[in-house]
Amino acid sequence: MAEPDAKLEWLRIAARFAWPAAFVAIAAMGFAFMRSRPEPTDHDVRVHASNTVVRSLRDIARLETTSLHVEKVIDVKDKQDRLHGLVQADDALLFIASGEVVVGVDLAKVRDEDVRFDEATKTAYITLPDPEVFSARFDEMHSYVRSRETDLLAKRNEQLESVARREAIAAFEAAGREPDVTTRAKAQAEKQLRSLAQAWGARSVVVTWRPLVAPERP
């Protein structure tokens, strides 16, 4: 009878150590699970999408012929009278503007009578509106405020950079209307239209230009 008692005692000892070992194993798995979970965050960013409203939809028939890179230094100063006009103080900003201007021909302005074809001579006659500036945009990577100086008695004008940007866009558009740019845009447009017309069977193409009509002011 001694051998069964020994086996029973051994089972009791094994059971005594089995529960702590199981508890340690479960705790270890739980700790590993908690570590694998992402850290809680206090941020709750939500984006609520709304309907997209199309205000204007129109066909675009534009022949882009020329693009140019423009750089302009804009020096803006806000002169302020302080202490009842006894002292003049300045708030100054120096803005380096870099941008791209696209010039071309708006083919939507070509009228029916502006295009005709002489079957006998296989000559196409086309009258185009003068080139115009399609777009003028900033190169944000290379446009920046070079310096900003505000005198001790001057009040900082937060609109100066906006003023500088408007002046830069106006300068970009003016550069796109320079005579040499217009001449180059015309030459490129004629080259492209001649290639297209000849592909349609024309032997020669005569291109003439019509000045743009300024929009009427209300």
Q: Which domain holds residue 86?
A: 62-210
* Amino acid 74: pLDDT: 93
The tens digit of pLDDT for each residue in 57-71 reads: 556 688 899 999 999
The confidence score (pLDDT) of residue 202 equals: 86
Q: pTM score, two decimals?
A: 0.67
Determine the pLDDT at residue 42.
54
Q: Tell whether 1 is covered by a domain.
A: no
For 60-86, what is the mean pLDDT?
87
Assign residue 122 a region (left: φ > 0; alpha: ψ between -120 and 50; beta: otherwise): left
Hey, what amino acid is at 118?
D
Examine the pLDDT at 24 and tell me if it is beyond 60.
no
The answer to whether the CB of 61 falls within 8 A of the CB of 106 is yes
Query: Is the pLDDT at 18 greater than 80, yes or no?
Result: no
Quote the pLDDT of residue 7: 46
Terminal alpha carbon distance of the chain: 119
pLDDT greater than 50 at residue 135: yes
Position 29 scores a pLDDT of 55
Per residue in 155-180, pLDDT (tens digit) is 889 999 999 999 999 999 999 999 99
Average pLDDT value for residue range 192-199: 87
Domain for residue 187, yes or no?
Answer: yes
Strand partners, 210: 129
C-alpha–C-alpha distance, residues 43 and 40, integer Å: 9
The whole-number average pLDDT for the span 129-143 is: 95
Q: What is the mean pLDDT of residues 92-101?
A: 94
Has residue 33 been placed in a domain?
no
50 belongs to a structural domain: no
44: in domain: no
Residue 164 in domain: yes
Q: Give a yes or no: residue 22 inside a domain.
A: no
pLDDT of the residue at 14: 47
| pLDDT value for 53 | 61
Count of domains for the chain: 1
Residue 7 lies in a domain: no
pLDDT in tens, 28-42: 555 455 555 555 545
